[in-house]
Structure 1
Amino acid sequence: MLTLLILLSYTWSTSQSTIPTHFYYSDMAGYFYRYSMFFLFPMIIIFTKLKKEFIPMVIGSFILAMIVNELISYGVFFGLWTTLRGTPENPIPFHKNHITYSAYLAFTILLSLYKFIHIQNKYKKLFLLLFLTTMSINLFMSAGRTGQFSLFITAIFLSFIYIKNIKTLLMTFITLVTVFILAFSVMPTFKHRITQAEQSIKNILENKNKDTSLGTRIMAFDTIPYLVNKDNLLFGVGMGDKPYYVSTTLKKDYPYRLVNFDKHGFLHNSHIEILISNGIIGLLLYCSIFYFLFTINVKDKLIKYISYTLGISFLCFGMVADIFFFRAIMSLFSLFLGIIILQKYEEQKLIKNEN
């Protein structure tokens, strides 16, 4: 069912991608390429070609790859070497920007946390504790608020799902808040980004400059009445026409001037972008993927945890970025979606064989 929904969502999006008159603003060709090559095709390959017994190796390899990324990031931070886009103030390794790297860090922290709680070997447990600590520090060293936001929200929801004892739940929440307070106190980059966010919110409330990183993401919700109307509510304006439509409509009707809206036609919000591009039908298909991630019945406890974590994390990512614009984020989504679908398929096949 999950596979079918993803294919339906893809088919609906592409069927709604009309050929735009103004190619400069169009992301249609780029959308086809990104969605197919970095999301749909890898996911299909994973759940059709990967053998179930190799799932732990794939997850372990992902964590190992993140350890390598982390070592490089710390090397950039301490000035031991440089990367294409990393600086000591924003030490990103191989990733294109801090948004994608922070998203990977947040997801890896949550994945490693499960491993830490359930692993029995004390030496592996000690290593994972060290890894969790350095990974968390690394997250707050970067300028990526996307990952920090996702980590906080996802950790809260996972706590409500898995922790039944009120006292333990309260202690978990206090610990989480304490970590963020400590990070604000000792991490200059994190403190600077939080201060920027505070100023952006203040500017919006006082009707001052709204054209900031956070301001763009908050004001995206304010544009909905200007962009969605009875003519495009059901089917959308088409993926190809969306950037041009957003740009020209907001230039004409929207009272505030924001560069990303006016020049690029990007709202930095996957959920709103899909509503505008593909209408209510496209948005419902898109949301149904997350619904099945939350409700999918798999016996493997790690895979079930991953399905919760993936669903909540990517809902958070989608609120502050366009998931289907960043290749690295799509690849992460694709990898673990493929693993979840594979696990579900193998469990269903086992039940059929037993019957």
Structure 2
Amino acid sequence: MKRIILHVDMDAFFAAVEQREHPELKGKPVIIGADPRGGRGRGVVSTCSYEARKFGVHSAMPISQAYRLCPHGIYLPPNGALYQQVSQNIFQIFYEFTDLVEPVSIDEAFLDVTGSVRLFGDGPTIAQKIKQRIKEKERLSASIGVAPNKYLAKIASDLQKPDGLVVVETDQIETFLWPLDISRLWGAGERTQQILRKMGINTIGDLARFPPQVLKQKLGSAGEHFYRLAHGFDERPVITREEVKSVSNEHTFGKDVDDMDVVRKQLVYLAEKVGYRLRKKGLKGKTIHLKLRYDNFSTITRNMTISPPTNQTRQIVDVALDLFEKNYISGRKVRLVGVGVSGFDTQAARQTNLFDVLDEKQQKLDQVQDLLADRFGRHIVQRAESLKKKKK
């Protein structure tokens, strides 16, 4: 039976929500991100309205660059709680049509509606109903791609934004896919694209007609993968719950920091956040990561594997600080730090072992901190070593 896959992608989601909440912003260049402060701001653009995109602004662009391109834009900080609530409302609409929903991010998802045809109509009809339901309930627009697989649906959803609906029929795959630039090839980064263009491959059709054995010589196993994509093959199912691979948090300082006590306190605070999230998810990990970015944007990542797996804040703090002390280059200013945990063992999360008994005090401290955070918010209590000195 032919699969019917939808890729639903909200249009300029954060900016569109702000324009909905504040009608005076409609038709204006709205940019969600850090305060640009006269073009010297830090951080990147989370998203921006289509009015801002006319000036060359786009997601992930440094906020300072966005300010230079669009100094008259309206710059707003992200309102995460509001966006999350709207996202939940939209995903609830998805579940009205199918249980097979794979979240990709807060504002996009894959839906397998193959089994929903008898109830709601064919793929394009379902897509139109979803678009209409989102418009009625949330006063927002979505672009949807309808295709026999995830890869084609993802490409289709991006071709007629905003408020687009593009359908790829099984007998039209080559007509649809082959004229597109290789930048549309899923997983082909800039380096891969450079290699392909040097080979005279500029469109997906060029790639599809190239000998697969040559692609494999140039790109290894990825060559065969890209060859299959160029012919529209993608057998991956819609996965309703993707396994969590890592839990991490990072922080970009308002200005480059040369006081290492400030960096250490931030690392402790990030480790607290990671530990809290691990315990809420019922996860324990054995690999603890440190991310460190200097003022010249050079970035290092280091990790340490411990046994048994943990979700205790104290252990995460100790390893993160140890990695920092061993790898920090003395005298360098720090722009960004991050702490993460991976290598999860779900069985370990359910078991009590000797180390848990020995660390009973730390467990109780974590439990009390989590309880207070759940009731009053994450900032209600922090470890003393993560508290920043108050300005005089």
TM range (shorter): under 0.3
Using structure 1 for the length normalisation, give the TM-score.
0.26
Using structure 2 for the length normalisation, give the TM-score.
0.24
Bigger radius of gyration: 2
Task: Give the structure with the higher percent strand.
Answer: 2
Per chain length, whose mean CA-contact separation is higher, i.e. which structure has more relative contact order (CA < 8 Å, sep 6+)?
1
